[in-house]
Structure 1
């Protein structure tokens, strides 16, 4: 077992501090430094067809300079927004490095976006360039006439009318490019974050705070060093890719393992863990919930030493099953598109299953009431980060072009995450739910996660989502949408059995009075259950 980066939580928490210089560029100040060792591995890429490519930091940095010249030739300048929507292709990484290097603002997106989503993004961000593949290009073409700022469309893969081909532009591009000396507070990354209502907000991160802040993610939560090979199962389209496929590992000089595949295949994933020297792994709870349905003991995990989960809390049942088979505890991490890793079940602290661990070094995180007062332990309230007198490194700059929304997430000296939790007497944080997911039934407050977790302990349940449902008598009641495990079929008997089960393992008032069996649950790109969609369906808003 490797020596962990943090061995004494309290000591590290008390002493840790990140410095932010006046000028910072991740491509120059971090990646080029690793690239000074020409043999140092940055990426090990495989696909489903037996193709395997290894890239050193030097090769990726060299590629990125060519990409800077290629984008400059298309008129892309410092501060311009470039939208990149690609699956896990090596070009995605080269493009991201290039945008940082030239000071362009990179805006990643998921391959699941619709034409309408794309039009909103192009127009709201004044994007000048879009880079995608043949799967999404037709959707771009549907709306491009309404997006006058987009001057350049670049396709990765086969040629397409009206598009420039990435490979054709890349080949002749010069290899010399002077990295733009970006100021720490210059805009660098733009995420579109879907809220529960209305259009997505534009979350802007700067050149220093976010990349440097992800030292917290890479050091303490991912627990990485220069000899690690880290596998993040997530898609390139959301912020988790920055955490775990880019800034987190590369701050630490670790190599990233990439499996380019169009769907998540549990058996293939477990085979890969046995075949490649992967040391650390990060997945969404959905990934782990699917993996534990397989016979985990039939596979080998020869090099795996550390596993983390993020996106929503991980159910204790899943953590137990995984640990029994692999000997490893999946360590929860908590954060948002707007932040780096804010809290985690760090390797040096005793895990409490179902808890999201303790606040990250560098962040003062408290549970506060409506007036901004810190609440006593074991009292539910809003998760808040202290931003005055000192704003922590790793927090976003603003919701771009939306001062009202930006102002709305602050309360006195605090930034509000929009999540509710309580802190136990030992400082562990326990997630209750999104501020708007909490169910109020007959005067009781019920967090959906606890009910979902207890359902998941039953052999018949593969996944569940719990929302409020209208009820004449009680105002609202708990309703569970349940995806059954293989070999089970829906029945009234099974409904009763699940209800009785939840009554036994949680407080009786929390049991789901309604259960509906479904084939699948609506999810965000990042694998979080979209409870809002189910709730609106229940309340007749959809």
Structure 2
């Protein structure tokens, strides 16, 4: 309809070689490249050399979607893939929203910040609120909500209108501290954490139910994983909570190292200290497992519940969306090896 060409391919992004994407970009003159942060971090693990083998000068816009992008991955994407010239259009949206909601507008670009989705698009009224539905202060984590209906939104759930109201429209009640553009006022609950900075930029922080409660402190898995990736040795990380009789939950991390780094007890201790300094002593991981891959869906989302099952020794459950079964076997071996080294029983 608009004279655009979309390129599709079959198989994995790193087979037969880690530069498969960059080869396609060069061969077909791709101008807009849109992917998920987890894929960007995977390519960070391989290093810059694979991208530098190809001419990526045709690219003019880079996009990211599916989960919050940590600043380190944003910068790598911008500099190595975009050559420092391509804007990154970080898009927040949901299947339920029917389209982008918070994102830089490519035709009227605002100054970008590494890791921020910037501002709601025109006509989208978003806010970050606390447990009482009141706006939080800058740099405070809260719940991302939408304060007005929008074109393309979901209208109901199939044969379950009551659940639609309960899940999306009932968590928060309108109050005088919020500004509503449309009457009657209503608050759509996205289920995501976010914060705003002093300039009003939105920073997405992952699902509100992806939270680990350690000694009364609620810590988001996205926050922890971003802290791990901020260490120069770490390409990617997945964090889960493990039941703890004293603290309620303890933190367990599965970590992929960048090319040139090797697993060691010294590096494990260094990463623990890095998390203590970055987030605080309460976030100190109980265990860190080094792996070469993480269990993900075919769309690139980390399947943390499978890692929880591996650590607890429980059944995996449904694995039909798992892209690579070998990642689970590797996680099992990593857990078993560390337990043996610490003299624990399986």
TM-score computed with the length of structure 1 as normaliser = 0.49
Given that 2:40 and 2:73 are in contact with CA atoms closer than 8 Å, whether structure 1 keeps it comes out as yes
Residue aligning to 1:344:
103
Residue aligning to 1:410:
169
Any idea what SS the aligned residue of 1:384 has? strand
Shift in CA distance, 345/439, structure 1 to aligned 2, threshold 3 Å: farther
The answer to whether residue 6 in structure 2 is matched with residue 257 in structure 1 is yes
Instruction: Please list, as runs of the form range in 1=range in 2, the aligned pairs for 1:134-149 lying within 5 A after superposition.
Output: none
Given that 2:67 and 2:206 are in contact with CA atoms closer than 8 Å, whether structure 1 keeps it comes out as no
Any idea what SS the aligned residue of 2:6 has? strand
> Shift of residue 469 of structure 1?
1.7
Given that 1:345 and 1:358 are in contact with CA atoms closer than 8 Å, whether structure 2 keeps it comes out as yes
Given that 2:101 and 2:120 are in contact with CA atoms closer than 8 Å, whether structure 1 keeps it comes out as yes
Given that 1:377 and 1:424 are in contact with CA atoms closer than 8 Å, whether structure 2 keeps it comes out as yes
Residue aligning to 1:273:
25
Any idea what SS the aligned residue of 2:7 has? strand
Shift in CA distance, 254/419, structure 1 to aligned 2, threshold 3 Å: farther
Instruction: Please list, as runs of the form range in 1=range in 2, the aligned pairs for 1:143-158 lying within 5 A after superposition.
Output: none
In 2, Cα distance between the equivalents of 1:436 and 1:518?
25
Residue aligning to 1:447:
220
The answer to whether residue 65 in structure 2 is matched with residue 307 in structure 1 is no
The answer to whether residue 134 in structure 2 is matched with residue 384 in structure 1 is no
Name which of 129, 148, 153 aligns with 1:368: 129
Given that 1:462 and 1:484 are in contact with CA atoms closer than 8 Å, whether structure 2 keeps it comes out as yes
Any idea what SS the aligned residue of 1:338 has? helix
Unaligned runs of 5+ residues in structure 1 are 1-33, 35-252
Any idea what SS the aligned residue of 2:29 has? coil
Runs (4+) off by over 6 Å: none
Given that 2:60 and 2:87 are in contact with CA atoms closer than 8 Å, whether structure 1 keeps it comes out as no
Provide the alpha-carbon RMSD of the alignment.
Answer: 2.3
Given that 1:437 and 1:531 are in contact with CA atoms closer than 8 Å, whether structure 2 keeps it comes out as no
Q: Deviations over 1:399-445 (max 9, x none)?
A: 21222331221134111111111222322112233111122212322
> Shift of residue 527 of structure 1?
1.3
The answer to whether residue 118 in structure 2 is matched with residue 357 in structure 1 is yes
> Shift of residue 290 of structure 1?
2.3
In 2, Cα distance between the equivalents of 1:370 and 1:506?
22
In 2, Cα distance between the equivalents of 1:530 and 1:405?
26
Shift in CA distance, 488/303, structure 1 to aligned 2, threshold 3 Å: same
Residue aligning to 1:420:
193
In 2, Cα distance between the equivalents of 1:316 and 1:309?
12
Unaligned runs of 5+ residues in structure 2 are 174-185, 316-346
In 1, Cα distance between the equivalents of 2:34 and 2:215?
39
In 2, Cα distance between the equivalents of 1:379 and 1:505?
16
Largest Rg, 1 or 2: 1
Q: Deviations over 1:313-363 (max 9, x none)?
A: 112112222323322343311111111111114441222222222112121
> Shift of residue 276 of structure 1?
1.9
Equivalent pairs, count: 288
Residue aligning to 1:483:
256
Residue aligning to 1:321:
76
Residue aligning to 1:437:
210
Any idea what SS the aligned residue of 2:67 has? coil
Residue aligning to 2:42:
290
Give the structure with the larger strand fraction. 1
Instruction: Please list, as runs of the form range in 1=range in 2, the aligned pairs for 1:6-45 lying within 5 A after superposition.
Output: 34=1
In 1, Cα distance between the equivalents of 2:254 and 2:164?
34
Q: Deviations over 1:370-390 (max 9, x none)?
A: 443333433322211123xxx
TM-score computed with the length of structure 2 as normaliser = 0.75
In 2, Cα distance between the equivalents of 1:358 and 1:410?
22
